Amino acid sequence: MSCREGFMSPQIETKASVGFKAGVKEYKLTYYIPDYETKDTDILAAFLVTPQPGVPPEEAGAAVAAESSTGTWTTVWTDGLTSLDHYRGRCYHIEPVAGEENQYVAYVAYPLDLFEESSVTNMFTSIFDCCITYQKRIM
């Protein structure tokens, strides 16, 4: 018996599911809500976004809302442990920047409950640090 036969697991061939693009989901399906009406308890933010070629502005705005709140670039099992509908950021409006090509202002509403009570530092870190990291990752 060779080392290969005695100590290694047999090779198993697996195939990806048909119609599923592993590790990728569109943010705008969950985080772009153009008919969302902001609440008095929402934290409102505006972000300048420059989508990559081929990316719609709604997807770019939704990506900011997702990455700065409850989203991630892939599906994870912990998504079912908290109320995504309650805690997610919502990109509710996108408008082009006057005189600038391919630049938009994305308006995002965050529920106050997303952040630690009485911690402005937590709020700013959650929103802005994530967006800076996200910008570096997509460049």
Angle between helices 57-67 and 130-138 (to 10 degrees): 130
Give the three-class secondary structure for 137: helix
Please report, rounded to a whole number, the percentage of residues in the chain having pLDDT higher than 70: 55
Average pLDDT, the chain: 74
**List of domains in the chain:** 23-138 (3.30.70.150)
User: What DSSP letter does each residue of 79-129 carry, written as one string?
Assistant: GGGS-HHHH--EEEEEEEPTT-TT-EEEEEEEEGGGS-TT-HHHHHIIIII
pLDDT at residue 9 in the model: 45
User: Which has the closest alpha carbon to 55: 46, 63, 47, 66?
Assistant: 63
pLDDT at residue 115 in the model: 64
What confidence category does residue 33 fall into, taking pLDDT thresholds of 50, 70 and 90?
very high
pLDDT digits (tens, 9 = 90+) for 49-86: 999 899 999 999 998 888 877 776 566 666 666 667 77
Q: Are 91 and 61 in contact (CB under 8 A)?
A: yes
Q: How far is Cα 62 from Cα 55, in angstroms, rounded to an integer?
A: 11
pTM score, whole prediction: 0.68
**110 Cβ contact list (under 8 Å, min separation 6):** 42, 43, 44, 45, 68, 69, 89, 90, 127
Least confident of 12-21, 43-52, 88-97: 12-21
- Structure tokens that stand for 88 in this block: 């997610």
